[in-house]
């Protein structure tokens, strides 16, 4: 059984007299800064020059500094910029300004696991990886609940790194839900695998293939959208509540029988063998190298793939249909976020 920690297992007093520098104020950054602040922790936000987030963070009453200044003030420095920029951000703006005994925190193990960042021996290296998007991490905290997280320590220079990590997770609200002990390697490899093979890559391509199959057979795109995409959330909610068994219990016997006989025709031995190949590319660093090389070159492959994804016919149909859903507030959020990007 995994080691799981809850509120009583973590002591916020470990963060007393310590200042937490949150570098970045995006999806995770705003949630960490605000949740910690509301938990009574001293927080300073570090942002790049000319950042459009300065005003947003100040509006919330947060102290905002340059990345260099915030780092210099931080007893804990949590790096919440995108993974692909962390390497140069760390080398150029963070490392030269770190207190000699500052603890360095991450929300994903990527840069430590693949050695893009190699902090010197005096620093604790800690991980608090929330298992949810930043906006949910903030919203659940505000409503009195928490988002679960997984935590790890790669380097325990102070001898207190685990206590510090648990305290941080408590300030974030994560120990309200439960926090599981892991390692940087396990977190990084399983996170990348989950998002590639199942959650993002697997699901989005499964939806697209289902949509293509129905529309190519002459069915209306609007109907296809409902059948292979819209209802997915309802199914996933049931799985989230009570596992696959609850989902099968709730849907019709016809659907359940179809699940058993047809599911294995879609997800075959070949699919699993592809999953093993994906995992092996993650484990041996092939995926990381490809991602970072493309990013370093200005992201030509990434940009082209994003444009191709956005041009898929299901996106157009979905945009029109979602306008019908007056109850679907998230549709507007998405459109705003989309325009900003
Ligand atoms: P975002 O893309 O939302 O972060 C954007 C922030 O990083 C902004 O404040 C932005 O500055 C800043 N930033 C971007 N580029 C630079 C740069 N070159 N130099 C300095 N600052 C920069 O990141 P996420 O919150 O998605 O991810 C942060 C970390 O959290 C990653 O390690 C990720 O893997 C991890 N994580 C993310 C999850 C999520 O929900 N998104 C879930 C769990 C972990 P500006 O405001 O000026 O634009
Ligand atoms: Mg993940
Ligand atoms: Mg991830």
Is 108 among the catalytic positions?
Answer: yes
Q: Determine if residue 63 is labeled as part of a ligand binding site.
A: no
Nearest ligand to the CA of 133 is 1
Sign of CA dihedral 292, 293, 295, 300: negative
Pocket perturbation via mutation, ligand 1, pick of 77, 82, 129, 169 by most ligand atoms within 8 A of CB: 82
Question: Which residues lie with the beta carbon below 6 Å from any ligand 1 atom?
Answer: 24-29, 47-48, 51-53, 80-83, 85, 89, 107-108, 129-130, 133-134
Pocket perturbation via mutation, ligand 1, pick of 28, 30, 47, 292 by most ligand atoms within 8 A of CB: 28
Q: Determine if residue 231 is labeled as part of a ligand binding site.
A: yes
Distance (Å, whole) CA 213 – CA 197? 21
Distance (Å, whole) CA 59 – CA 30? 12
The per-residue pLDDT for 328 is 60
Give 65's strand partners. 46
Q: What predicted TM-score, i.e. pTM, was given to this entire model? A: 0.92
Q: How far is the CA of 96 from the centre of ligand 2 (A)?
A: 30
Q: How far is the CA of 138 from the centre of ligand 2 (A)?
A: 17
3-state SS of the chain is CCCEECHHHCCHHHHCCCEEEEECCCHHHHHHHHHHHHCCCEEEEEECCCCCHHHHHHHCCCEEEEHHHHHHHCCEEEECCCHHHHHHHHHHHHHHHCCCCCEEEECCCHHHHCCCCCCCCCCCEEEEEECCCHHHHHHHHHCCCCCCEEEEEEECCCCCHHHHHHHHHHHCCHHHHCEEECCHHHHHHHHHHHHHHHHCHHHHHHHHHHHHHHHHCCCCHHHHHHHHHHCHHHHHHHHHHHHHHHHHHHCCHHHHHHHHHHHHHHCCHHHHHHHHHHHHHHHCCHHHHHHHHHHHCCCHHHHHHHHHHHCCHHHHHHHHHHCCCCCCHHHHHHHHHHHHC
Residues with Cβ within 8 Å of 251's Cβ and at least 6 positions away in sequence, in order, are: 235, 259
The per-residue pLDDT for 107 is 98
CA-nearest residue, atom 40 of ligand 1? 133
Nearest ligand to the CA of 129 is 1
How would you classify residue 279: left for phi > 0, otherwise alpha for psi between -120 and 50, otherwise beta?
A: alpha
CA-nearest residue, atom 28 of ligand 1? 80
The per-residue pLDDT for 341 is 40
Q: Determine if residue 195 is labeled as part of a ligand binding site.
A: yes
The per-residue pLDDT for 329 is 54
Pocket perturbation via mutation, ligand 1, pick of 80, 133, 287 by most ligand atoms within 8 A of CB: 80
Residues with Cβ within 8 Å of 263's Cβ and at least 6 positions away in sequence, in order, are: none
Question: Which atom of ligand 1 is found nearest the CA of 56?
Answer: 46
The per-residue pLDDT for 325 is 77
The per-residue pLDDT for 143 is 97
Q: What is the pLDDT of residues 292-331, one digit of tens each?
A: 999 999 999 999 999 999 999 999 999 999 998 765 655 5
Residues with Cβ within 8 Å of 131's Cβ and at least 6 positions away in sequence, in order, are: 147, 148, 149, 150
Q: How far is the CA of 155 from the centre of ligand 1 (A)?
A: 23
Q: What is the pLDDT of residues 56-94, one digit of tens each?
A: 999 999 999 999 999 999 999 999 999 999 999 999 999
Question: Which atom of ligand 1 is found nearest the CA of 85?
Answer: 18
The per-residue pLDDT for 332 is 47
In the predicted model, residues of the chain with pLDDT beneath 50 are 332, 334-341
The per-residue pLDDT for 339 is 38
Contact 205, 172 (CB under 8 A): no
The per-residue pLDDT for 324 is 84
């Amino acid at each position: 059984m995994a080691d799981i920690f809850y509120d009583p297992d973590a002591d916020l007093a470990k963060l007393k007299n310590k200042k937490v520098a949150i570098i970045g104020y995006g999806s995770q950054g705003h949630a960490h800064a605000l949740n910690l602040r509301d938990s009574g922790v001293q927080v300073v936000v570090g942002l790049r020059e000319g950042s459009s987030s300065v005003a947003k963070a100040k509006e919330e009453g947060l102290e905002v500094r340059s990345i260099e200044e915030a780092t210099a003030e931080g007893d804990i420095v949590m790096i919440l910029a995108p993974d692909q920029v962390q390497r140069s951000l760390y080398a150029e703006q963070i490392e030269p300004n770190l207190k000699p005994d500052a603890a360095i925190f991450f929300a994903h193990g990527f840069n430590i696991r693949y050695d893009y960042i190699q902090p010197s021996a005096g620093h604790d290296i800690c991980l608090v990886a929330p298992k949810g998007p930043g906006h949910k991490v903030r919203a659940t905290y505000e409503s009195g609940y928490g988002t679960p997280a997984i935590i790890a320590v790669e380097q325990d220079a102070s001898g207190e790194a685990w206590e510090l990590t648990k305290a941080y997770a408590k300030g974030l609200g994560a120990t309200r839900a439960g926090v599981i002990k892991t390692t940087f390697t396990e977190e990084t490899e399983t996170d990348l695998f989950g998002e590639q093979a199942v959650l993002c890559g697997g699901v989005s391509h499964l939806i697209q293939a289902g949509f293509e199959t129905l529309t190519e057979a002459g069915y209306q795109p609007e109907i296809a959208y409902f059948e292979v995409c819209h209802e997915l959330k309802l199914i996933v909610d049931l799985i989230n509540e009570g596992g696959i068994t609850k989902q099968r219990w709730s849907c019709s016997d016809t659907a359940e029988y179809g699940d058993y006989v047809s599911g294995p025709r879609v997800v075959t031995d070949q699919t699993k063998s592809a999953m093993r190949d994906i995992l092996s590319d993650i484990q041996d660093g092939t995926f990381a190298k490809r991602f970072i090389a493309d990013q370093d070159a200005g992201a030509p492959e990434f940009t082209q793939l994003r444009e191709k994804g956005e041009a898929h016919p299901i996106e157009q149909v979905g945009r029109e249909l979602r306008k019908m859903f007056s109850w679907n507030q998230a549709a507007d959020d998405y459109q705003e976020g989309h325009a900003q990007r």
